[in-house]
Amino acid sequence: MAEWNAFYHNEDEDEEQEEGEQTSGDYKVTGRDSLVFLVDASKEMFIKGEDGELSNFDMTMQVVRSVYTTKIISSYRDLIALVFYGTEQSKNPRNSFKHVYVYHDLDEPGATRVRDLDALLGDKGEKLAAETMGSGETSLGDALWCCANLYSDIKYRLSHKRLMIFTCRDDPHGGNSTKDRQAHTKARDLKETGVMIDLMHLMKPGGFDVSLYFRDIVSPAEDESELGLQLKPCDKLDDLRKRVLAKEQKKRSLARIKLILDEGINMAVGLYATAVTARKPGAVKLYRETNEQVRSKTRTFQTQTGSLLLPSEIKKAQVYGKKKIVMERDEVDAIKKFDDPGLYLIGFKPMEKLKLHHHIRPAIFLYPEDDQVKGSACLFSALLKKCSEKNVFAVCRCTPRRNIPPRFVALVPQKEEVDDGKVQTKPPGFNVIFLPYADDIRNLDIPHCPIASPIQVNKMKEIVSKLRFKYRSDAFENPVIQQHYRNLEALALDMVAPEETDDLIMPKVEQMDIRLGPLIDEFKNMVYPFNYNPDVKPAAKRKTADDGGGSEKKPKVEVSEEELKNHMKNGTIGKLTVPLLKDACKQFGIRVAGSKKQELIDALVAHLGS
């Protein structure tokens, strides 16, 4: 029975495992992510900017709401809390701390919480916050102590704990050394328990001096990929949202393996997926009487006797040459295993040797894991620097996990890039490009098409130059997924109608026509026949009554030598029909071996051009 229970498990058990559970070789991450927003509720946070700009409090609430809705879509099992400090009213577990208001304790985000945040937005929200919480004395140490209690009350296993402080005051205690010392002590205690503390400081008159107080409160950067503490405060909503998302975004590796340069020279690296196809979540089956989720179980039975089969009684087979090759489970596992997980360096190649058609699947990102093997970051940085200087890529044999066939990969170096707000847009590391095997390459018979004339090519170049624009993949959202979640959000939040979704991938025809002007018509006249319309199907040939169904003959049309030369000069000789070209060849006594249109055109060009 123990063997049965181990094999015939519930299929839903895999889905019920904690969000983020990933296995890669011997490395495993389990648990949920947690995030606590610690927001300053002092009077300074409610001061509006010049020209009616958003107050720091309103800007913070909009960003917090954005994270809530994003978590509901991407990681609904993660835990989020919202805590205000510097309030007049107090609300926290056991009311142990004054001037600390726990608006949301650590729990999964939901529609009710989003509605609570909507009530805090805008002028009405600021008024509600003033009535509900008010502004009073500040004790950041008590606020951090309260957040520590929120974490200690959680019974779930937490894989990542982060706390974000939103404030526009660089000296919250006004020089009170006792409160400063208490806050530093509590921050140190939180960091020792694995909580990452980040500062999202906001603009205030006279500037925000981080070194005055908060430099020792926040946590250092987890690794070189993080920018750590930002010295410039946020004064715009987009800047604040970018910083929060950059810190909040998960950075879990698909696998942690060794990059082996030579015998005895290796480093630990992590593989990260930078782009994953977004899909709508699958439907959940419910029992219609109680709306409880239905669990499914799988059993394997013998077809003739109907008896339940044990795992040891099941074998696998594959047909080869009309013969069924039967294998045991251990034999199948042995066949699948080629090598231990790892990256084995083979050599280096110039960047021009890497072609676009070599990318047979989405690339992944390679970054050092110094906590696994000390010195990995230093060796990795040296390799990255030299590959960038010499403009080469490394060719490796890659086995990301056990029982996965090895692949040839190209490690393409990538330098670090930051935007104007000092937020990292590209981390330093290697892009892992999966290269094709000889079996993956197809030899295609490319059809021979008419070659465009230089005049046609130049005209198309003008069209292309007019339609150029700066493309950023993060500027285009999937309209199907966005509409799906807008509808769900409207149902969950009891909205009258869902928000309209802009389909950003639809071409802007009117703007394109304004940019191109007459270029399109000029190109059509060069390439297509007269009065060509791609939307109109060619009319069927009609039978005449006079000749009993025979088609009526059209009068013969001749083309003069001068007209042919003009067509050659304008690049429109291809618009002439094959019968006209044949008659022209007969007219000038040109013998053509074949009867294809391009052969006739080449013969006329050779004759009239000489």
Residue among 154, 165, 363, 370 at smallest CA distance from 267:
370
Q: Is 242 among the catalytic positions?
A: no
Enumerate residues 6+ apart whose C-beta is below 8 A from 74.
none
- H-helix segments, 216-328: 237-248
Residue among 58, 33, 216 at smallest CA distance from 141:
216
- State the first-to-last Cα distance of the chain, in angstroms, to the nearest integer: 93
CA distances from 384 to 348, 359, 387, 393, 415 (A): 12, 21, 5, 9, 8
Chain position carrying tokens 């029992």: 287
**Cβ(138)–Cβ(39) under 8 Å?**
no
Interhelix angle for 177-192 vs 140-152, to 10°? 20
**Cβ(45)–Cβ(55) under 8 Å?**
yes
Query: How far is Cα 438 from Cα 539, in angstroms, rounded to an integer?
Result: 48
Residue among 569, 568, 464, 573 at smallest CA distance from 519:
464
Chain position carrying tokens 């509600």: 128
Enumerate residues 6+ apart whose C-beta is below 8 A from 372.
256, 268
- Residue 340, SS3? coil
Residue among 502, 497, 507, 499 at smallest CA distance from 480:
502
Going by the DSSP 8-state scheme, the letter that residue 545 receives in this structure is: T
Query: How far is Cα 549 from Cα 335, in angstroms, rounded to an integer?
Result: 70
Query: How far is Cα 4 from Cα 380, in angstroms, rounded to an integer?
Result: 47
Going by the DSSP 8-state scheme, the letter that residue 416 receives in this structure is: -
Backbone angles phi, psi at 418, to 5 degrees: -130, 155
Going by the DSSP 8-state scheme, the letter that residue 197 receives in this structure is: E
Q: How far is CA 183 from the centre of its chain?
A: 38
**Cβ(170)–Cβ(160) under 8 Å?**
no
Query: How far is Cα 65 from Cα 455, in angstroms, rounded to an integer?
Result: 56
Residue among 194, 83, 73, 82 at smallest CA distance from 142:
83
> Tell me, what amino acid is at 484?
H
- H/E element holding 581? helix 578-587
**Cβ(387)–Cβ(394) under 8 Å?**
yes
Q: How far is CA 588 from the centre of its chain?
A: 63
Q: How far is CA 311 from the centre of its chain?
A: 40
Query: How far is Cα 362 from Cα 346, in angstroms, rounded to an integer?
Result: 22
**Cβ(147)–Cβ(104) under 8 Å?**
no
Q: Which residues participate in catalysis according to the annotation?
A: 28
